[in-house]
A and B are shown apart, each in its own frame.
Chain A
Amino acid sequence: MQNHAYSGRQLALPLASVFAAIILTIGTLLGSSGAANAQQTTASSDRIWHDLKGDVFGDRAILVDTGVVRIEAPKRAQDAAIVPVDIYLDPAKAPDGIKSVTLIIDANPAPVAATFQLGKDAGVTHLSTRVRVNDYSYLRAIAETQGGQLHMAQTFVKASGGCSAPAVKNQDEANATMGQMKLRQFPPKETMTKTEELQLMIRHPNNSGLQRDPLTQYFIPAHFVQKLSISQAGQPILSMEGGISISEDPNFRFDFTVHGNGEIQVEAIDTDGKTFRNQWPLETAGL
């Protein structure tokens, strides 16, 4: 699959190495003096974003709150490891179509949570996933139109209190079940439409790489789902390049426009180069 959105010079590096570099930097900070830092505020989150956006989008203009994209998340993260986030796209406000959405969590060790490429005729207007939120932070969704305009929406999330940490809860189980997938198909809410909702779940620890090997004391390399593509009848619906800010057992729920009766196919590739594939018949075939 082509990564047509990454034509800018700033993104000539594979996104994964950007993730890795940022993870390493923050990991070093946390390991030394970072632990003493106070929690982030809206202002400090904005400062992080100000420094970060050039690395992700170069010096391109970003339009804010135009209605092309909206983002919703709980005001306070309940479980730091599993924070639900909803992104809504309004095709009426972007007549030339939206080709991608990037999800940013300013204060996380890996701020670029994911970039989603949207299939040209996929009709995706709503996408929800779950992310880790390490600190008080803005969550930002930046949509790019086919014409190359950038539109942003943001919402501030307070980190969870108490002992909830953005880490894998049941590591042995996560390792043992890695690669399993589950797809749920929600039938159209109204008859005579060709829009249905899918929920894709993938078993994967999506580990941070900030853990040490108990024997060697070296950091264990980050291990996460790096690429994901979802298609139906051979037509791309959604693809993702993601990092460790996506929760363990990555979970995506989205609507799309059904094309014919072809099956739904999913391919996921993690940072160890493992490829996980699966396919399911369309339950609403014959619509």
Chain B
Amino acid sequence: MSIDRLRRRLVSGFACTAASAALLPCCLGRAVLAAGGSSRFSLRQIADGLFAFQGADELMTAANDGAICNLGAVVGTDAVAVIDSGGSLIEAQAFLAAIGKVTAKPVRFLVNTHMHPDHIFGNAAFREIGATIVGHRNLPRALDARGAFYLHNYREQLGEALMEGVEIVSPTMLVDDHLQLDLGGRMIELRAWKAAHTDNDLTVFDTVTRTLFAGDLVFMGSLPTLDGSLLGWLRQMDALTAIDAARVVPGHGPITADWPQALAGERRYFEVLARDIRKAIVDGTPLREAVKTAGESERDNWHLFDDYNERNATAAFAELEWE
């Protein structure tokens, strides 16, 4: 090993010990998006006039710039609609720069698929360019209840530099049920769902290419997280399946997947989790014990299982106790 490489390893080693364990694998990649403009932020064309960015299968960290969820852009003859703003202002700016390279049309709409920070922390960048921010009718209420907590909680996790300029920006155009947006030569259909992943889930369907941007109603690879209603999610699986889409862009996982096969993994996980929790409830096992083993047989099927399974089990237990 050359001295230079050794020194680099030592230096990065110091950086790693200073960071929390969660940051270890990526500590060399800090602020790649910021430093290199859009060097790591690559938009890929997935269909005619449709572009998407694939988030990392990781927790949000300073090293990955919070860029962990998939983002999308739909280009019409008049305007662009963007699906989700990303997990930091830095990511959002890289996203906008990348869009500018594939089209000269203005970004007129930002659609937030739900309230979580990885999807909305970049909102301010879109407000600055005058885009209309669109969300589920429940999204403003959900952000009011959580916004201050998100800003506080993520400052520790993402660091001051990445939190710079991050604001909670609520949508100004709300979707009660269905809403169509005309981008010129192409309509996109927005649909507000009943509580599932959250109580403010919104999907976007591009009628031209029959592509469904599912937000976090569809997880692939990374363990789904439950922050709304397990029963609601399971109850709406059939309605989701029935969407006549050729492909889906899931909120997390591959950039596109076949539809509705993409739903199979998450549906199986939730059914296993519900079965295990229901058994614990019948047996009188307290929540604190039950959540340690529920869903365990799904461990090998998912990234981030240890980060989220116990949390999902906790939420599921509190909900299923009322059945």
| CB atoms of A169 and B315 under 8 A apart | yes
| CB atoms of A36 and B155 under 8 A apart | yes
| CB atoms of B199 and A170 under 8 A apart | yes
Q: How far is the CA of A78 from the CA of B291 in the complex (A)?
A: 10
- Which residues of A sit under 8 angstroms from B286, Cβ to Cβ? 84, 128, 253
Instruction: Find B311's partner among A30, A164, A203 (CB 8 Å cutoff).
Output: A164
| CB atoms of B195 and A170 under 8 A apart | yes
A14 at the interface (CB under 8 A from B): no
Q: Mark B302-323, 1 if CB is under 8 A from A, else 0.
A: 0000011011011100100110
B247 at the interface (CB under 8 A from A): no
Q: How far is the CA of A172 from the CA of B228 in the complex (A)?
A: 11
Residues of A72-101 contacting chain B, CB below 8 A: 74, 78-82, 84, 86
Q: How far is the CA of A171 from the CA of B228 in the complex (A)?
A: 9
Q: How far is the CA of A31 from the CA of B152 in the complex (A)?
A: 11
| CB atoms of A165 and B284 under 8 A apart | no
- Which residues of B sit under 8 angstroms from A10, Cβ to Cβ? none
Residues of B148-175 contacting chain A, CB below 8 A: 148-153, 155-157
| CB atoms of B145 and A211 under 8 A apart | yes
Closest to A171 in B: B199
Q: How far is the CA of A82 from the CA of B291 in the complex (A)?
A: 12
Instruction: Find A201's partner among B150, B229, B291, B322 (CB 8 Å cutoff).
Output: B322
| CB atoms of B322 and A249 under 8 A apart | yes
Q: How far is the CA of A164 from the CA of B152 in the complex (A)?
A: 12
Most buried by A among B22, B198, B225, B227: B227
Residues of A144-169 contacting chain B, CB below 8 A: 159-169
B141 at the interface (CB under 8 A from A): yes
Residues of B198-232 contacting chain A, CB below 8 A: 198-199, 225, 227-229, 232
Q: Tally of A-B residue pairs with Cβ under 8 A?
A: 122
- Which residues of A sit under 8 angstroms from B116, Cβ to Cβ? 163
| CB atoms of B199 and A169 under 8 A apart | yes
B287 at the interface (CB under 8 A from A): yes
B256 at the interface (CB under 8 A from A): no
Q: How far is the CA of A160 from the CA of B156 in the complex (A)?
A: 12
Instruction: Find B152's partner among A30, A74, A173, A253 (CB 8 Å cutoff).
Output: A30
- Which residues of A sit under 8 angstroms from B157, Cβ to Cβ? 161-162
B146 at the interface (CB under 8 A from A): yes
| CB atoms of A169 and B227 under 8 A apart | yes
> Interface size class for chain B?
35 or more
| CB atoms of B310 and A34 under 8 A apart | no
Residues of A202-219 contacting chain B, CB below 8 A: 203, 208, 210-212, 214
Closest to B199 in A: A170
| CB atoms of A169 and B314 under 8 A apart | no
- Which residues of B sit under 8 angstroms from A128, Cβ to Cβ? 286, 288
Given the known inter-chain contacts A34-B148, A170-B228, A171-B138, please indicate yes or no for A162 contacting B307, CB distance below 8 A.
Answer: yes
Q: How far is the CB of B196 from chain A (nearest CB, A)?
A: 9
| CB atoms of A165 and B322 under 8 A apart | no
Q: How far is the CB of B88 from chain A (nearest CB, A)?
A: 14
Closest to B148 in A: A30
B266 at the interface (CB under 8 A from A): no
Given the known inter-chain contacts A165-B150, A169-B195, A170-B228, please indicate yes or no for A78 contacting B314, CB distance below 8 A.
Answer: yes
Q: How far is the CA of A74 from the CA of B313 in the complex (A)?
A: 14
Q: How far is the CA of A13 from the CA of B12 in the complex (A)?
A: 56
Q: How far is the CB of A259 from chain B (nearest CB, A)?
A: 23
Closest to B157 in A: A161
| CB atoms of B318 and A78 under 8 A apart | no
Q: Mark B276-288, 1 if CB is under 8 A from A, else 0.
A: 0000000010111
| CB atoms of A165 and B146 under 8 A apart | yes
Most buried by B among A162, A168, A201, A211: A162
- Which residues of B sit under 8 angstroms from A173, Cβ to Cβ? 195, 199, 229
| CB atoms of B195 and A167 under 8 A apart | no
Q: How far is the CA of A35 from the CA of B145 in the complex (A)?
A: 14
| CB atoms of B144 and A212 under 8 A apart | yes
Q: How far is the CA of A272 from the CA of B300 in the complex (A)?
A: 48
- Which residues of B sit under 8 angstroms from A38, Cβ to Cβ? 155-156
Q: How far is the CA of A164 from the CA of B198 in the complex (A)?
A: 11
| CB atoms of B307 and A161 under 8 A apart | yes
| CB atoms of B117 and A163 under 8 A apart | yes
B110 at the interface (CB under 8 A from A): no
Subset of 19 A-B contacts with CB under 8 Å = A34-B148, A39-B156, A78-B291, A81-B315, A84-B287, A161-B157, A163-B117, A163-B227, A164-B311, A165-B150, A168-B145, A170-B229, A171-B199, A172-B195, A172-B199, A211-B145, A214-B141, A249-B322, A251-B318
Residues of A within 8 A of B (CB): 30-31, 34-39, 74, 78-82, 84, 86, 128, 130, 134-135, 159-173, 177, 180, 182, 184, 186, 201, 203, 208, 210-212, 214, 247, 249, 251, 253
Residues of B within 8 A of A (CB): 22, 59-60, 116-118, 138, 140-142, 144-146, 148-153, 155-157, 195, 198-199, 225, 227-229, 232, 284, 286-288, 291, 307-308, 310-311, 313-315, 318, 321-322
Top 3 A-B pairs, shortest CB-CB distance: A78-B311, A30-B148, A167-B145
